[in-house]
Amino acid sequence: MDFTSILSLVIAGLITNNIVLVRSIGICPFLGVSKKLDSSVGMGAAVTFVLVLSSVVCYLLYHFVLVPLEYEYLQTIVFILIIAVLVQLLDIVLKRISPSLYNSLGVYLALITTNCAVLGTANDVIANGYNLLETVVQSVSVGLGFTLALVLMAGIREKMELSKIPKPFQGLPIALITAGIMAIAFAGLGGMTF
């Protein structure tokens, strides 16, 4: 694996193939947590951590357990179980280490378990035939791309609270319109080549 292919994975995960804005995966926590900048940073970090850890564990389990035993068809069920266990561990750790972050995330911490971005990335690394290094690079890039989208949206939504928005567009409607405009901007960068 050369530097160009690593750079391509990083740029794709961050911008040109952003999991939320270009692929529309992980929208629920994106819209739910992006109201405040501090909670969006915490959620992005938590999702990135779980995403990287679960992708690596899923990769190892797939290649060293499921494939040798010819149980590849159990991939989705096994991956969901791994993600659920990792999120529960993160829940316990955050409750002890950072109660303020735990309280600010609230119910959204449980959403990581059902966050399609985490499962989608674990499935993508298997489907694309990535090796372990590519899996780590892809997972970190996707997690940082998720965090980038979340932080940008939170910053915009905090500014919108100070703006006069017509009543029918207040709340979720303007958030969806903003997300659509952001998605167009990110997708427009898809023609970048190296």
Contact 86, 55 (CB under 8 A): no
Give the pLDDT score at 156: 93
Angstrom CA distances, 85 to 41, 73, 189, stand at 22, 20, 36
At 165, phi and psi to the nearest 5? Answer: -115, 135
User: Measuring CA to CA, which residue among 175, 146, 139 is closest to residue 160?
Assistant: 175
Residue 89 has pLDDT above 70, yes or no: yes
Give the pLDDT score at 108: 66
Lowest mean pLDDT of 16-30, 68-82, 143-157, name the range.
16-30
pLDDT band at 193 (very low <50, low <70, confident <90, very high): low
Tokens representing residue 14 in the block: 């961050």
Give the pLDDT score at 35: 83
| Average pLDDT for the chain | 88
pLDDT band at 124 (very low <50, low <70, confident <90, very high): very high
Instruction: Give the Cβ contact number of residue 133 at 10 Å.
Output: 11
Average pLDDT over residues 3-12: 89
> pLDDT tens digits, residue range 144-172?
999 999 999 999 999 998 889 999 998 88
pLDDT band at 140 (very low <50, low <70, confident <90, very high): very high
Average pLDDT over residues 28-56: 86
